Structure 1
Amino acid sequence: MTRVGLVVNPVAGIGGPAGLKGSDGPEVQRAALARGATPRAGERAALAVRTLRAARPDVEIVAAPGPMGEDLLAGEAPSAALTTAADTRAAVHALRDVGLLLFAGGDGTARDVLDAVRELAELGCQAPPVLGIPAGVKVYSGCFALSPAAAGLLAAEDHDEYAEADVVDLDEELYRQGRVSPRLYGTLRVPAARHRLSGRKASTPPGSVEAIAREVVARMEPGTPYVLGPGATTQQVGRQLGLATTLLGVDVVENGSLVAADVTERDLYELAQDAVVVLSAIGGQGFVLGRGNQQISPRVLGRTKDLLVLATQQKLAALNGRPLLVDTGEEETDSRLSGHVRVITGYRESVIYRMECT
């Protein structure tokens, strides 16, 4: 691999800390900036590039113009320039001759990359294999590396085999309304390295979710705030308390009452002192932090006193021995959270399971 292309969606992920559940579209991006959100895609792309250069100094990296890659290679600070899907597609067209194309973003960016690959095919051009650097709010597609560092290491390797990875996307407007309607948009050709790819999100089968929620409620202590992360399992905790918590947002409850619903990272920081964070693992991927719950940032976690991890036995079995994962974007926080953790799997049921940083 002598030439690697780089395309960065500079505003990918900006809607996560702002509680907007996505970053697609200029209106959402401007709203996120107005709520004090800062771009993170550039930082995550920079980590992938540093890892790649350390492993393979001989690799030539060719980047998209300005804030979509070139500025990053020149050492400039990441910006929140508002780019469009058309910009992403144009960048993929321009970099079609590289050996591997790295792109930083989320599922929306993956969809734009796939659109460009299809356009190239219509023109009779062969698109390069691609690899996603996880930097968005929604990272449910199978074309992403486990982390920016994993993306850099994968890009440094010479690959003889490639596989088709699913590109899955959600309707963001329905998503914000709490309606999850994923669809398979297509596939992208990626390096065949399943151990470093995140895999596609799997749905949670019904079963012991209610029992898990009962156990969480039974453990709740008076005077302690509980931060409920996104997902059907944590929403069931709210239902057990008789509260209308959100499916895809982050809520805070205390003494059986809803203190705040669908909070931003900024709001959560003020409410998280000595709180217990309650999170469920993403089915099929195993992520506990860093995917769809960016409101629970490293500085928020620094104020909390405990973390409860929830997963059905089916979810854990589907991991086939792979660890649960954390990817907060801060190495110190990820290392602190790594190790063997107790996972609540039902009422009065739990297992000890390994959790690792990516």
Structure 2
Amino acid sequence: MFGKFFSRDYRYYVSQGDKYLAAERYADARTAFNDALEKMHNDKIDDAALEADIKGKMVLAGDRLGFVNLEEAEHAFQSGIASKAREHIHLVMQLAEDVITREKAEILLRRITEVEAGEPAAAPVHGCASCKGVSPEAVENSGISDEDLSSDDRFYLAIQTLPHELSLRYAGLGEEFACAYLTAHGGRADSALSLFHELNETAECDIYHYEISLIYYEQGDLSRCEHHLQRAIELNRANPLCWLALAQLTADTGRFQEALQLLDHMVVHQFLPDQARSMQGDIYQSIGAVDKAIDCYTELLAFPGTARIAAERLVPLLENQGRNDEAEFLFKKYLKGCC
């Protein structure tokens, strides 16, 4: 086995990884791409562009595996097997970088924790529960992680749902911010809002404004939500979550053309472009611009991490247009075997 490994160069493993991706064998693809990177390192191949491309394909494969595990977690939860659902959710967190997939996993984990909330559990020893009067119960029911984790670990797990650069920024904002963040995700919106405002008054930051906007959105105060999103973008035009949230808000308030323009900006500047293009497709579909929606979803078919979701949206649209052969082709290629 080892003889075969050392007799092949990195190009072989890149080719194998590409084949596995096309065949939707995502675990095998990740292994092949990892072997390619190891061979490049061992053979002292200095090609930054190629290395970045291989790592990007590994991310795509990981996102797809994460999505599969999310489906398994949902099935386990619906079947009443909470422990199995948690195992799959942790795999989602380990494998996927896609923001939407990770957020769905966190929401599901929160639901599981709420169902189990009646069971006794030990309170965290240190961290968020000790600052500014936030109760251990707020941390316990946050739904971010298992009961036996410290608040530091809970916060670390929670911010893994964010794009990598943002997760690093969140991690660097200190204990008071972590306390506010866990409080917000533990369902204590008013307490969290007060904490975020205090932090923002001390040192204004786009992240503080963004987190404040989310709370106002949940409370239905869309005017204040938009104000804080606009201010966050003024402070940092490179924060992709602020653009995505603003696009969602404008769409929710019926300002579809404005939302589409915001999403175009995201695609052009590569701010979560897959999520932006997917949301554009959803908006076009909701306003009856079906052909444009089909164009958006078709573009997403080119990427393994979004192909299945795009196919799920495309198949009924094509069927409604009488394009049954195309719909059948997409179903067989991307959706065969799914429930």
TM range (shorter): under 0.3
Is the helix fraction higher in 1 or 2?
2
In our comparison, the structure showing a higher alpha carbon Rg is 2
**TM-score after normalising by structure 2:** 0.24
Is the strand fraction higher in 1 or 2?
1
Greater RCO, 1 or 2 (C-alpha within 8 Å, sep 6+): 1
